[in-house]
């Protein structure tokens, strides 16, 4: 088995601030994802990457940047935090588009 | 544009009852579906996957898939209070990504 580690677990930012969320996986998976989940709602895809140094935009990419410098790590940057961005950000990975997606425990973002 | 649509949004069933959840994709390139379960405060975990027409059963859980209509359903028999959770349907696309629906909140009343 493997594990996906997200840091930090909780992130408090100020409106307008640039914030970075980090994710590491030891599954040796090629594909990694960042999803956003608002309270009690479904998952919306922000960015994904199918291999090292690859980046693909999801449906919610505006206001975010991502970086995949290594196969095992995928980071997400909120370029300018907004008041309505209180959400949980979930990092995930899979071997490819046809296999199970595994999730980290999430980073809970609060903007004050 | 939401390419994976789930219904109902919320479902209440009595303990021991049958829960039926639905999911449809509007993307004709989808060929795999998954059902994930997310308990409150936890991360989603995969319950079942299906990619062939027909039915697949694992314990109390049964998944159906109709590839022509891109419709899948999850049925939980003998529902237990511990089944209360958010159920998420996911599908792959030809763009190498996996997308999720908005989920169905299942409440099983003791």
pLDDT tens digits, one per residue of B14-43: 999 999 999 999 988 888 999 999 999 999
User: In a 10 Å sphere around its CB, with 0-12 CB exposed, 13-18 middle and 19+ buried, how is residue A73 labelled?
Assistant: middle
User: How many Å apart are CA A93 and CA B81, to the nearest integer?
Assistant: 30
Q: Which of B45, B46, B88 sits opposite A42 (nearest CB)?
A: B88
Q: Which residues of B touch A61 (CB under 8 A)?
A: none
Residue pair B24/B5 in contact by the 8 Å Cβ criterion:
yes
Backbone angles phi, psi at B82, to 5 degrees: -70, -10
pLDDT tens, chain A, 112 aa long: 899 999 999 999 999 999 999 999 999 999 999 999 998 889 999 999 999 999 999 999 999 999 999 999 999 999 999 987 789 999 999 998 888 999 999 999 999 8
Nearest to A31 by CA among A88, A89, A92, A77: A92
Nearest to A34 by CA among A66, A5, A11, A62: A66
Residue pair A21/A73 in contact by the 8 Å Cβ criterion:
no
Residue pair A46/A63 in contact by the 8 Å Cβ criterion:
no
User: What residue in A sits closest to B95 (Cα-Cα)?
Assistant: A97
Residue pair A109/A19 in contact by the 8 Å Cβ criterion:
yes
pLDDT band at B1 (very low <50, low <70, confident <90, very high): low
Q: Which of B45, B99, B102 sits opposite A45 (nearest CB)?
A: B99
Residue pair A89/A13 in contact by the 8 Å Cβ criterion:
no
User: How many Å apart are CA B84 and CA B77, to the nearest integer?
Assistant: 13
- How far is the alpha carbon of B93 from chain A, nearest alpha carbon, in Å? 8
Residue pair B86/B103 in contact by the 8 Å Cβ criterion:
yes
């Amino acid at each position: 088995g493997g594990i996906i580690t997200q840091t930090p677990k909780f992130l408090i930012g100020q409106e307008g601030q640039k914030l970075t969320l980090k994710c590491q996986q030891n599954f040796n998976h090629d594909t990694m994802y960042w999803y956003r989940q608002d309270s009690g709602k479904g998952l919306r895809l922000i960015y994904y990457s199918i291999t090292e140094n690859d980046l693909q935009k999801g449906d919610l990419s505006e206001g975010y940047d991502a970086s995949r410098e290594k196969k095992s790590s995928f980071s997400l940057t909120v370029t300018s935090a907004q008041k309505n961005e209180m959400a949980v950000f979930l990092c995930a990975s899979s071997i490819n588009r046809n296999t199970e997606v595994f999730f980290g425990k999430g980073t809970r973002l609060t903007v004050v | 544009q939401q390419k994976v649509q789930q219904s109902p949004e919320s479902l209440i069933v009595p303990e021991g009852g049958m829960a039926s959840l639905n999911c449809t994709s509007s993307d004709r390139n989808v060929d795999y579906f998954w059902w994930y379960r997310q308990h409150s405060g936890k991360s989603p975990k995969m319950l079942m996957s299906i990619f062939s027409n027909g039915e697949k059963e694992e314990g109390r859980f049964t998944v159906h898939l109709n590839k022509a209509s891109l419709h899948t359903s999850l049925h939980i028999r003998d529902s237990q209070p511990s089944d209360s959770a958010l159920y998420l349907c996911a599908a792959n696309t030809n763009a190498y990504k996996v997308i999720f629906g908005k989920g169905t909140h299942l409440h099983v009343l003791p």
